[in-house]
Amino acid sequence: MPSTTVTVGSAVGLHARPAAVIAQAATETGAEVTLAVAGEEAVDAGSALLIMTLGAAQGDEVTVESDDEAAMKVVADLVAKDLDA
The confidence score (pLDDT) of residue 72 equals 98
Residues 32, 46: Cα–Cα separation, whole Å: 8
Local structure of residue 56 (DSSP, 8 states)? P
What is the average pLDDT across 69-82?
A: 98
- The residue extents of the domains of the chain are 3-80
Confidence of residue 84 (pLDDT cuts 50, 70, 90): confident
Dump pLDDT digits (tens) for 11-60.
999 999 999 999 999 999 999 999 999 999 999 999 999 999 999 999 99
Closest CA to 50 of 9, 73, 62, 69: 62
Q: Inform me whether the pLDDT recorded for 85 exceeds 80.
A: no
Residue range 3-80, CATH number: 3.30.1340.10
Residues 31, 12: Cα–Cα separation, whole Å: 26
Dump pLDDT digits (tens) for 48-61.
999 999 999 999 99
* Catalytic positions, written as ranges: 15
Give residue 78's identity as a one-letter amino acid code: L
